[in-house]
Amino acid sequence: VKRGEKRKHPAPPFTTSNLQQEASRKLGFTTAKTMQIAQQLYEGVDIEGRGTLGLISYIRTDSVRLSDEAVAAAREAIAARYGAEYVPEKPNVYKGRKSAQDAHEAIRPANIDLRPEEIKASLTKDQFNLYKLVYLRFVACQMADAIMDTVSSDIVSEGYIFRASGYKVAFPGFTAVYEEST
């Protein structure tokens, strides 16, 4: 029997292609539908009592870079909503591909204080679902790692080895908010 600990890191914030893939897996959207709705969220939606607001940052990007202000706001929001233990010691920084142009930052909510549930009444179902996806992925990308207690055992019988393994969540970290689909 072997016991251990495994850390799981949060996924980086969305690039255009990651957003399209995740929207397809989680929401069943086509690429065209994802980009059409993302464009609406970027250009602005009439939010009751607040006027027309752009809800997400520029949607055509291959960068995973985030502004210092956005990271600071996310870390503050995470500490307030989930507790200080969910905020990593240092902000999570993600490395992009060498071929990335890095002209625009990653896709993220324009204002971390506009939680999806609070503006749901002003959005269509598809807008709400896509905004929630972007919002939760951004928040999760700045949260602490998830920690799993692992156990595996090898059972030897008549010359054969059978392996059983499993894990228990010791600390949910970012998985309390979001997990990437596969």
Q: Which residues are catalytic?
A: 58
Could you give phi then psi for residue 110, rounded to 5 degrees?
-70, -30
The rounded distance, in Å, linking the Cα atoms of 121 and 90 is: 36
Cα–Cα separations (whole angstroms), residue 2 to 8, 134, 150, 153, 165: 19, 38, 8, 6, 9
How crowded is residue 175: how many other Cβ atoms within 10 Å of its Cβ?
Answer: 17
Contacts of 136 (CB under 8 A, 6+ apart): 116, 177, 178
Alpha carbons within 13 A on the beta-carbon side of 106: 27
How crowded is residue 125: how many other Cβ atoms within 10 Å of its Cβ?
Answer: 8
How crowded is residue 94: how many other Cβ atoms within 10 Å of its Cβ?
Answer: 15
Could you give phi then psi for residue 19, rounded to 5 degrees?
-60, -45
